[in-house]
Structure 1
Amino acid sequence: MTPQANAQNPSNSEMMTRVGPGTVMGELMRRYWLPALASSELKADGDPVRLLLLGERLIAFRDSSGRVGVMDQRCPHRCASLFFGRNEHDGMRCVYHGWKFDVEGNCVEMPNVQNGEELKAKVKARAYKVTEQSGLVWVYLGAQDHVPPLPAMEAALIPEGEVNVRFVQRACNWLQALEGDIDTSHFGFLHAGHATADDFQDDHPMRHTVTNRAPEYHVADTPWGTSYGAYRQEEDGRMSWRVANFLFPFWTQAPNSDFLTNVGVRGWVPMDDEHTMVVMLSWKKSPGAYTGMPLKNGKPIPGFAPAVDYLPNTTDWYGRWRPQARAENDYEIDREAQRSNEIYTGIRMVFMQDQAVTESMGPITDHSFEHLVPSDQMVARTRRRVLRAALALRQEGVLPPGIADPEAMWGARSGSFHTAAGVPWQEAYSERLKEATRVR
């Protein structure tokens, strides 16, 4: 099959990538709980944090009693920023005129007004429902009188002491950032283009990604979103599978570990149309990504680094969780390592290799310039699924996946496994899921 020009309607692309109030995708995402920041980022009576979610400028703070408030950064009196407020005695006090608001947005003091005790009940800051789970502060930006349950994704249910929580900011639209996680054929190039099958132990689970860099695929709609199964025939006749998922509205599960123990998820949370906060949850009992497993020489795949190096956080709207390797320094690319084929990209970390290519597409990808091919089936299927759900909500009021049926998310699991030749992939998936180690 030859590449075909992507004739995607520009208006469809606009709908999928714009997330502000009143937009089609913004309405969809406001039906879900959003992972906003780590619980550890907020201290009782500590400094408020500027928070950018779906194009809305908010502040987050923890009050004297430990409760978290997330509200519009503007004081409802004269619109001065509550970021400069005093977090004191179970409330945020605006420094302009002393008005004070609790975590639910109630005005509890109006000290510059003679009859403030009478008037304060008539004023309310725009505050949102908040809860904490698995080391995260979750915020609901939709209608506050119709709040759904938290998502029943397995990784979002990991007990507090057993969860790893990480954040990385990415300077591009949420959709192109997310699509890097559901594009499996790039692994054998972007991350392991310098490797050969002989570099791996015979039973290394990543060996087949360089033995056959053009896998075949099955792609399907699922109750939680979309799934793919990429398959390759092993020399012993068995079929090697890498299964991954997209979960509404912006979650991915990567196939970078053994299916039976792989509990993890990434949320590609839009800050605005051109910035994304990647939220990563993983289970401490899971063994971790295959990319760190040693090769024949006892070392991990070249270019593998265990953690992102961050710039110091600042207090501006884009000041949290910024990687040190970034566009301004060409992601610290080592051209000599690239030329010598020590590292295919010359960029010394798997996650930052993804960061570089998705940010290089521009703040928002021009989809009309793309030429999609069969290896892009999962990307194309997911775009259609997301757009259909967003339009069904807008035009017919149909609730998107995971809202009316939150337990549907529990069935999503990613990872790699083997089957005998000829076993249907979704049948094999269901059987492996019964055998898997679960968090509950």
Structure 2
Amino acid sequence: MLTEEQNKLLTEVEGEALMGRYMRERFWIPCARVDSLVADGAPKLVRLLGKNYVAFRATDGRVGMFDEACPHRGVSLTLARNEDCALRCIFHSWKFDVSGRAVEVPSEGERSASFAQKVKLNHYPTFEGGGLLWVWLGDGAPPPRPPLPFLDLAPEQVWISRTLSACNWLQGVEGTLDSVHVGTLHQSWIAKVRDSKRNETIGHTLNVPPRYEVAETPYGLRAAALRRLNEDQQYVRVTEYVMPFISLVPGSMSDREGSMFISVPMDNQNHMLFWGFWKEDALHEPLNERGLRTDERDLDHYASFKGDRENAWGQDRAAMADGHFTGFLDCLLQEDVVVQASMGRIVDRTREQLCASDVAVVRARRRLLNELAMFERDEQGIAPRDPELAVVRPIDMVSGAGTGWRELLAH
């Protein structure tokens, strides 16, 4: 249980909120799917930490990212023409190149060139990796890229989706650290994957609730969910939490594949969830993903749903009567998005009644609060700037019942 003040510290990201400043000044932030940015295509609205930005891909393939508002009169640059490696505002035809430099101000006539040199439009560094566009919103030089296993993979080895989620970012993160819910909330979908033989181990989550052990790491937390299968064997499922908003979940008996959950704050009450798969040692066909949905999905609105609290977010009670556990039939991820939204825009953590299986959630909150305190004192916390930090990989395995999971990871 948190105090009201602690809950605000962890959840509020807008303006000069401490968590927002921490994210802005310490981390690269993923903000869009790379494939959603098309050369000379429509500019994309990006909302991060309570502010609006615009991202676009220029004629030559480069990406620009600016404040959304044209510096002239504040018209949205999502309306701009994207051509000739620049955005041109449709109101007065001011033109800005990929670096954010004003190159034409037609309303000034003969003074266009000299006046353009005085125009300031905030431009933000970006890089493309793992199917995502990452942006640096902080002051000064950006840090090294995060230690993620999929950033340098070929496009064929990564599959990524985006969902707009109507709740605070921390609800998204905490859902990824809770392995217990996999075998309850997702049981109908997991049984389907198990029966299809597409994943060797995920079916073990249906057998028995896990015992949790958590260890701190230079980048965040490592959460091990341990399930005893019989007298001789245990199922070990280790999730890597790369603070503040990234969780890496293991694939099937390998540390060279897995799924990513990235809960990026749009503002205090909404976040973007980037969810996908990667596979390092082969070209990746998202077979598991096909088994986790019933129809084709819009990759920029993957787990959207119809309805709200008034109609139980579109839950299908007839399907529940026929045996589906939750009644959300479109895709597995929809179950996560709905239960998080049902908690309210910002869940009141002062009223929770936590139990032993919530240890990873509790430890993550404690670590985040400690990091915020260190940031406020201008002390170095976790090491996002350490270029020597090894790439982080989650793993699951079936091992001897008496073998410690830390020992297994060491090998």
Same fold, judged at TM 0.5 (above):
yes
- In structure 2, do the counterparts of structure 1 residues 85 and 350 end up closer, same or farther at CA, with 3 Å as the change threshold? closer
- In structure 2, do the counterparts of structure 1 residues 291 and 283 end up closer, same or farther at CA, with 3 Å as the change threshold? closer
* Distance in 1 separating the partners of 2:43 and 2:94: 16
* Distance in 2 separating the partners of 1:45 and 1:132: 17
What letter matches 1:138 in structure 2? W
TM-score by length of 1: 0.83
Deviation at 1:253, TM superposition (A): 1.4
Q: Provide, for residues 298-320 of structure 1, a one-character-per-residue CA deviation record: whole Å limited to 9, x for no partner.
A: xx7xxx4266734xx9xxxxxx5
* Distance in 1 separating the partners of 2:155 and 2:196: 36
What letter matches 1:305 in structure 2? R
State whether structure 2 residue 122 is matched by structure 1 residue 122.
Answer: no
* Distance in 1 separating the partners of 2:296 and 2:376: 39
Q: Provide, for residues 69-120 of structure 1, a one-character-per-residue CA deviation record: whole Å limited to 9, x for no partner.
A: 1111111122222222222322212222222111221111122224332232
* Other structure's SS at 2:397 match: strand
Contact kept in structure 2, 1:99 and 1:110, CA below 8 Å: yes
* Other structure's SS at 2:363 match: helix
State whether structure 2 residue 233 is matched by structure 1 residue 238.
Answer: yes
What letter matches 2:67 in structure 1? D
What letter matches 1:9 in structure 2? T
- Which residue of the partner structure matches residue 385 of structure 1? 367
Contact kept in structure 2, 1:33 and 1:140, CA below 8 Å: yes
What letter matches 1:18 in structure 2? E
Alignment of 1:306-321 (within 5 A): 309-310=297-298, 321=301
* Distance in 2 separating the partners of 1:75 and 1:103: 14
* Distance in 1 separating the partners of 2:166 and 2:38: 27
- In structure 2, do the counterparts of structure 1 residues 77 and 262 end up closer, same or farther at CA, with 3 Å as the change threshold? same
Contact kept in structure 1, 2:237 and 2:395, CA below 8 Å: yes
Gaps in structure 2 of 5+ consecutive residues: none
Deviation at 1:250, TM superposition (A): 0.4
- Which residue of the partner structure matches residue 259 of structure 2? 264
- In structure 2, do the counterparts of structure 1 residues 195 and 274 end up closer, same or farther at CA, with 3 Å as the change threshold? closer
Q: Which residue, out of 4, 7, 12, partners 2:6?
A: 12
What letter matches 2:293 in structure 1? A
Deviation at 1:402, TM superposition (A): 4.0
Work out the number of aligned pairs and report it. Answer: 400
* Distance in 1 separating the partners of 2:182 and 2:160: 24
- Which residue of the partner structure matches residue 28 of structure 1? 22
* Distance in 2 separating the partners of 1:271 and 1:195: 30
Contact kept in structure 1, 2:256 and 2:393, CA below 8 Å: no
State whether structure 2 residue 362 is matched by structure 1 residue 368.
Answer: no
Deviation at 1:420, TM superposition (A): 1.9
- In structure 2, do the counterparts of structure 1 residues 134 and 232 end up closer, same or farther at CA, with 3 Å as the change threshold? closer
Deviation at 1:322, TM superposition (A): 5.8
Deviation at 1:288, TM superposition (A): 6.1
What letter matches 2:125 in structure 1? K
Between 1:204-213 and 1:18-27, the stretch displaced more is 204-213
Q: Provide, for residues 119-145 of structure 1, a one-character-per-residue CA deviation record: whole Å limited to 9, x for no partner.
A: 3222210111122223322211111x3
CA RMSD, 1 decimal:
2.8
* Distance in 2 separating the partners of 1:208 and 1:97: 61
* Distance in 2 separating the partners of 1:277 and 1:150: 20
Alignment of 1:333-372 (within 5 A): 333-340=315-322, 342-348=323-329, 349-372=331-354
Alignment of 1:113-262 (within 5 A): 113=108, 114-143=110-139, 145-192=140-187, 205-213=201-209, 215-255=210-250, 257-262=252-257
* Other structure's SS at 1:254 match: strand
Between 1:121-130 and 1:37-46, the stretch displaced more is 37-46
Between 1:358-367 and 1:179-188, the stretch displaced more is 179-188
* Other structure's SS at 1:345 match: coil
Q: Provide, for residues 252-293 of structure 1, a one-character-per-residue CA deviation record: whole Å limited to 9, x for no partner.
A: 11245323342332211111121111113422536868798x
Contact kept in structure 1, 2:208 and 2:228, CA below 8 Å: no
- Which residue of the partner structure matches residue 316 of structure 1? none
- In structure 2, do the counterparts of structure 1 residues 95 and 205 end up closer, same or farther at CA, with 3 Å as the change threshold? closer
Identity among equivalent positions (%) equals: 32
* Distance in 2 separating the partners of 1:289 and 1:226: 29
* Distance in 1 separating the partners of 2:47 and 2:182: 31
* Distance in 1 separating the partners of 2:60 and 2:203: 52
Between 1:260-269 and 1:51-60, the stretch displaced more is 260-269
Deviation at 1:407, TM superposition (A): 4.4
- In structure 2, do the counterparts of structure 1 residues 70 and 389 end up closer, same or farther at CA, with 3 Å as the change threshold? same
What letter matches 1:115 in structure 2? R
Deviation at 1:230, TM superposition (A): 1.5
* Other structure's SS at 1:142 match: coil
Q: Which residue, out of 398, 404, 410, partners 1:424?
A: 404
Gaps in structure 1 of 5+ consecutive residues: 1-5, 293-299, 314-319, 432-440
Deviation at 1:239, TM superposition (A): 2.2
